[in-house]
Amino acid sequence: MSTDRYLTLSGESTAMLREKASRFIGLAFPIANEDAFKERLQAFQKEHHSARHWCWAYALGHLGEVHRSNDDGEPAGTAGKPILRHLQGAGLTFSAVIVVRYFGGTLLGKGGLVQAYGEAARAAIEQGTVVQRVVTERLFVTCSYAQFDKLRNEIAELDGSMIDSRFDPLCHTIIELPRSLVSAAVDRWTLQGLQVRTGDQMK
């Protein structure tokens, strides 16, 4: 996959699994950052306040390079890691999975826990919709009115977008471009006499 693109979830999805009287409920969902994850985790814990464990994993960063998992009292490596493994196996980032367990009175053993938590995570992910997002960077461009229409057409051809524009004696616009195209575009537009800088504040 291009470094401009990554896979994430479009929304929340759930799945339930029963294993020897224990009930496992998996929730898969997109997150923007760690704070968003913590907020959803707290809400899910309140929804399932009588559960025994709330185990989870998440991945952040355009390459999924930031990731964490938690066993929440289960034997080490039996819950968080299996959840994370399925998250990464699906190629997802900016995504998280929480699996809550209602204990049914029968011990599952480490192998059984790994299987149950992993399966609940896998099922929750499969119930969701995976979408592809584009990694973009923002640029602030100043140009003449004569250059503006050409710039707008070129941005569309590059699968970019104009976020905001302001017009006075010159045209000022905030644009977003796929990350891999930014360097060449900046060089080209600078040679054409456009003023280009990073940032999203129009002054």
CATH code of the region 5-132: 3.30.230.30
Confidence grade of residue 199 (pLDDT, cut at 50, 70, 90): low
CATH code of the region 135-198: 3.30.70.240
How far is residue 43's CA from residue 164's CA, in Å, rounded to a whole number? Answer: 35
Per-domain boundaries in the chain: 5-132, 135-198
pLDDT tens track for 107-163:
788 999 999 999 999 999 999 999 999 888 999 999 999 999 999 999 999 989 999
Q: Report the DSSP beta bridge partners of residue 130.
A: 9
How far is residue 203's CA from residue 164's CA, in Å, rounded to a whole number? Answer: 12
pTM of the complete model: 0.76
pLDDT tens track for 11-60:
999 999 998 888 999 999 999 999 999 999 999 999 999 998 999 999 99
